Structures are given as C-alpha cells and as structure tokens.
Structure 1
Amino acid sequence: MNCSSYIKAFLAVFAFSFVGFTTAQAQDLIARQAPIDKKLKNIDSLTLQRQIDVVREEYPALSLYPNWNNTSVHAYGKAEVPESFEIDLTGFVMPTDSRRITSKFGYRWRRMHNGLDIKVNVGDTIKAAFDGRVRMVKYERRGYGRYVVIRHYNGLETVYGHMSKQLVEEDQYVKAGEVIGLGGNTGRSTGSHLHFETRFLGIAINPALMFDFPNQDIVVDKYTFKRRGGRTAATNSATASYYRVRKGDTLSGIAASKRVSVNNICKLNGIKKTSILRPGQQLRLY
C-alpha cells in the first residue's frame, strides 16, 4: 500500500467513526487494508488508536450509543442493549446539596415516574453529576420544563428537569460539579424541585440505586446494569433499597439505623454475621 492509499484508508476510518461505526468495525476496516510491513502496521495501529481516543472524547460512550442528536431525550429504541454493563460511579458530584426527596421512582398517579424529585428552591445551583457532554438543552411546557440532558463517559445519561434557567449549551463539555442550571418550577410541576433521571441506552434506572441524596454520596462505586425482560428493566427493582458501607460500620449498626434485621441483610447479600464489611461495599437491605 502506498502513502496515498494509506491516508485514504485512514480518512475512511475517521469518517465512519463519526457516523456511528463502532471501534471494532473501524479496526476491521484498517486491518483489511493494512500494509505488510510489520513496523508500519504498528504505526498504523497507534495512529488509529489515537484517533479513536479523540472520537471517544468528543462523543462520550460512542461505542455504546448508536447516535448523537439534540432532538429527543429517548432516542435509542433500536439500540443494542448489552446483557451486562458495569457503570463506574466514582468521580461523581451530587447534582444538588438538597437531601430531601419529595417523590420517588416508580408508578405515580397511574403513570411511570422515571426519576427522583429532589426539593430545591428557585435559583438553587444544579450541577453535572459526572464529566460529559451536553446533548440537549430544551424546554417542554407540558413536560420537563427547562431541562438539560448530559451523556457521560461511564455510559450513563442524566436528565435535569424543571429548572428556572439553563447555564450550558448543547454540545458543550462539562466537568463533574460544574453548574449547569438553576432550580425552578417550569413545565409540568407543582412546586420548585429538581427532577433527576439516570438512564442507560434510554432505559430508566432508579437514581436511588446509585445516588444517596440523604447522605450526599453514591450508593456503590460501580453499579452493574443487567438486562432483564427485554429493554424495560434494569438489574435492581425500584422497590429495593441499598446501603453503601462506610468506615466503622457494623452489621448490627446498619440494621438498627435502617430498621431491618441482621439476618435479613445476611440472607439478601449471601454473607454471615461474622463477615467483615469493606468501605464502599454495597448491601441490599430489602
């Protein structure tokens, strides 16, 4: 392969990566046109990997999501959902300092409530939960009101609804903890609050399985999503409750504070009363 042919092949890979080609497909394409010279092969691989890294940085979780658009919150009806996927929650920042949940995830008034409502006042700062890129900044009079959708590098998308003001723009890169808007009461809302959703490939996951607003912490460092019953369910039930072990915690102390029995915690988690608890360990309570 001459230099001109190599450049054309590389540009083809680059172009395809922007329209939704997966990393594996890009690598297959370059492999079919790879030069015989071993040294040049290594150079090609390094160059390709650098370009793949650039694309990944520009489009978070590109290998998971089939597209990037600024038109629809739920745009992944035809996405291929993996059987299991580990979501890294480290590096988080709580989206609000408020600890009060006013409405939980689940059915409410005969319709599904796909997030948590957290009490905030008009003008309170709302922050990005993780590093990522803003996919949507929109207004829905009969829905989210003024809202922001961010796609994160860990595979999650987070939705922040009913804000009084949005302080970011579509396609903008944000860091965890960066202020993205102000609390409000816009859209379909009966009082000032933050509607907060966590989604994986469009599938709503109960934020309480990952975010502990009363304690201003995450529930576990790594959350494992497991596909169950098609595309409509995540691994954990919305009615389940979890606790993230902190330094100095004991089974009896956790059981007493959460009003559950030690025996029940042991049964649900496959542990013994004498088991040593590790900080960061996730325990199912019921």
Structure 2
Amino acid sequence: MLNLNASAFSPDEKNKPGDDKKSKAKREDTTKMVMNLEPIADLEGEETDTTEISFPSHDLYASWDTNTAHPYNFSESFKEDSVTIILTQGEDNCFVLPYKGGLTSLFGWRKYRPHYGTDIDLETGDSVLACFDGMVRVAKYYRGYGNCVIIRHKNGLETVYGHMSKLLVESGQELSAGTLIGLGGNTGHSYGSHLHFEIRYLGQALDTQDFIDYEKGDLKSNSFVLRKSDVTSKYDLRALHTRHKNDLMARKYGSRYPAKGGVYRVRSGDTLGAIAKRSGTSIKSLCKKNGLRPTSTLRIGQRLKI
C-alpha cells in the first residue's frame, strides 16, 4: 500500500532525502562558500574583503549544502501562487543540452515508484555537459544516483546529473553552460549506461520536457511559469500516482469509460459507482453534473457528463 502522505523521494535513491537528521546536525554551517579571491577596490578606493562570496540564487535558497542531494522543503519555501523563472539572460552562456541522445525513460511513475528525471541514452565514457551557468553544489557518489553532480544555477533552478562513470568537477566550482562535468556511465541504481537528468526548483522535481525540446536540443521558451497548482496536479508524488492509476484504467477499459470532461452512454449493468471509479471522478460529481441523486436509476443509453 503506497503511503501518499510520506515525503516525496528521488526515484534513484533508496532512502528519502533529508532523513539523515543526526548527520545533518553535525554538519558545519555551509551557508557561505569560501572562495580564495584577490580583494578588489570599492568606490572610495579602499580594499573590500571578497573572500566570502554568496552562492548562486542566495536570495532564494537559505543554505548551501554540499552533502545532501535535496535538503529543501518545497511546500514551506514556495510562498507564492506562481513564479516566472527566466532561464537565460544577460551574460549567461545560454543553454546546452547535457547530452544529445534518445530518451529511454520519462518523468512519471515507473515500477511502483516515481521517476523524477528524464533518462538519456548514452555510452559509458560519453561527455556530459552543464546545461546552464552555475556553481557545483554536490559532486560525489550519492546513493542511487551513483556518481552524481548537482549544479545550482543563477536562474534559481538546480540540475542533477546521475549514474556517471567519472566526475570531472568539484563542489564550489563555478562553470558555464557547456562545461564538461563528467563522463556517462552506469553507477548507482542503474540498469545500463544512461544519464539520469533532473531539473528542480527549491527541491521540487519538474518535468524536464516542460523546459526542453529534446529533438531540437534547445529550450522551448526562455521563461517558465511555475504555479503552485501545477505542482499538486502534475509534479508531486500524489499527482504522479493519480496519473499512473488513470493510465492503467484507460489501458484496461479503453475508451468505454471517458476521462473527466467526456460523455458516457450508460450500458447494461452500469452503476454510478462503477462509472465514477472507472472515469476517475466521484458519484457526487456525476450527480451534480447530471442532475441525479445517488439512488437514481440509470437508463440504458442514457448520456452522462463525466
């Protein structure tokens, strides 16, 4: 039985991120990334200490954790009803596809668990590139991800690159879009060489295909609007599981039981309960749309709004 009240977990991790409370308590404060840079002069000619440089999107994120893949709580951090994310702007080095290959597994439900990324087919040793300018937050072997790189970007997104055979960057390294970050592989919870690629915002995984046209190898748009309602209807654990159940129902019953918004013609043996269940709706909703009561007798051939 799936517990939908549990925190969402990465499809390529056996343990839910953020559960290691004891180890997190021992961690040093990593809210600032220390960089060894030469002091620069301010407007009055005095030297300004720039040894503490804020991490990318520091106004959005409250921490810079180099040990945990997804240490955030999206529902607590995302206060707005919606946000517009500008993907590239100014001096950014645009966008580069991490690897141009066929898609072997998409964002959604897979084998009794959510799959929060897009799998791109490659061979072990193939070059994997950073897709936006940013700074490496995590670069290490991490549970089901295997050899993994997580990059925080100036646009507020984080991208995840998993299952690599070799890492070529380190935490704290600043890089541009198109920088070589590692070599493709088959490490971690993986069956066959491929790149597991994720796009996340405040820890919430988003469907990379909503951003990227993989055939063209480019962004679909330079801006992306993320609505809180989109998360609950499309991206989070409950939404993925509901969509999976609806897909199974559609395959089982075909077009006989339409989804919401369709019209169904009553057949022999039908009941409101059966029609509601197989159409992904409720008896209450059917009654309201069709002026019926839960005890109403259905007529063969009767049309019902779903």
Q: Which interval holds the TM-score relative to the shorter structure?
A: 0.5 to 0.7
Q: Which residue of 1 aligns with 2:99?
A: 96
**Which residue in the other structure is 2:280 paired with?**
none
- Gap runs ≥5 in structure 1: 1-17, 21-43, 240-286
Normalization by structure 2: what TM-score? Answer: 0.56
**Which residue in 2 is equivalent to 1:124?**
126
Partner of 1:268: none
Instruction: Determine what percentage of the aligned residue pairs are the same residue.
Output: 44
Q: Which stretch has the larger CA shift, 171-180 or 84-93?
A: 84-93
Q: Do the aligned partners of residues 234 and 154 (structure 1) sit closer, same or farther apart at CA in structure 2, a change above 3 Å counting?
A: farther
Q: Tell me, yes or no, if structure 1 residue 210 matches structure 2 residue 211.
A: yes
Offset at 1:233?
Answer: 5.5
**Cα deviation per residue 1:101-144 (whole Å; 9 max; x = unaligned)?**
00000010010000000001111100001000000012135x00
Give the distance between the partners of 2:122 and 2:206, measured in 1 at CA.
22
Query: Alignment partner of 2:209: what SS?
Result: helix
Rounded to whole Å, the distance in 2 between the matches of 1:114 and 1:58 is 28
Matches of residues 35-114 of structure 1 in structure 2 within 5 Å?
58-77=54-73, 79-81=76-78, 82-90=80-88, 91-98=94-101, 100-114=102-116
Distance 1:56 1:84, change over 3 A: farther
TM-score where L is the length of structure 1? 0.60
| CA distance in structure 2 between the partners assigned to 1:116 and 1:185 by the alignment | 15
2:27 paired residue number: none
Listed one character per residue, the Cα deviations across residues 59-107 of structure 1 (whole Å, up to 9, x for unaligned) are 1111111111111111112752132222222311111122x10000001
Matched residue, 2:183:
182
Identify if the C-alpha distance between structure 1 residues 232 and 159 changes in structure 2 by more than 3 Å, giving closer, same or farther.
farther
Aligned to 2:156: 155
How do 1:229-268 residues align onto structure 2 when only pairs under 5 Å count?
Answer: none
Query: What is the deviation of 1:19?
Result: 4.9
Secondary structure class of the residue paired with 1:208? helix
Q: CA deviation at 1:58?
A: 3.7
AA of the residue aligned to 2:130? A
Q: Describe the SS at the equivalent of 1:199.
A: strand
Which structure has the larger Rg over C-alpha atoms? Answer: 2
CA distance in 1, matches of 2:224, 2:161: 20
C-alpha separation between the residues in 1 aligned to 2:234 and 2:169? 31
Other-structure match for 1:32: none
Measured on the aligned residues, the alpha-carbon RMSD in Å equals 2.9
Q: Is contact 2:31-2:65 (8 Å) kept?
A: no
For residues 13-51 of structure 1, the C-alpha deviation after alignment (integer angstroms, 9 at most, x for no partner) is xxxxx958xxxxxxxxxxxxxxxxxxxxxxx9x99xxx9
Looking at structure 2, the residues matched to 56 and 152 of structure 1 have their Cα atoms a distance apart, in angstroms, of 18
Q: Output the amino acid matched with 1:165.
A: K
User: Which amino acid in structure 2 is aligned with residue 93 of structure 1?
Assistant: V
Find the counterpart in structure 2 of residue 225 from structure 1.
226
> CA 1:232–1:135 in 2, change beyond 3 Å: closer, same or farther?
farther
State the AA in 1 paired with 2:203.
G
Structure 2 unaligned blocks of 5 or more: 1-29, 33-41, 89-93, 244-306
Structure 1 segments of 4 or more deviating over 4 A? Answer: 54-57, 229-235
1:181 Cα offset (Å): 0.4
Give the Cα–Cα distance (whole angstroms) in 1 for the partners of residues 159 and 174 of structure 2: 14
User: Would the aligned equivalents of 2:107 and 2:207 in 1 still touch at CA under 8 Å?
Assistant: yes
Give secondary structure in 2 for the equivalent of 1:61.
coil
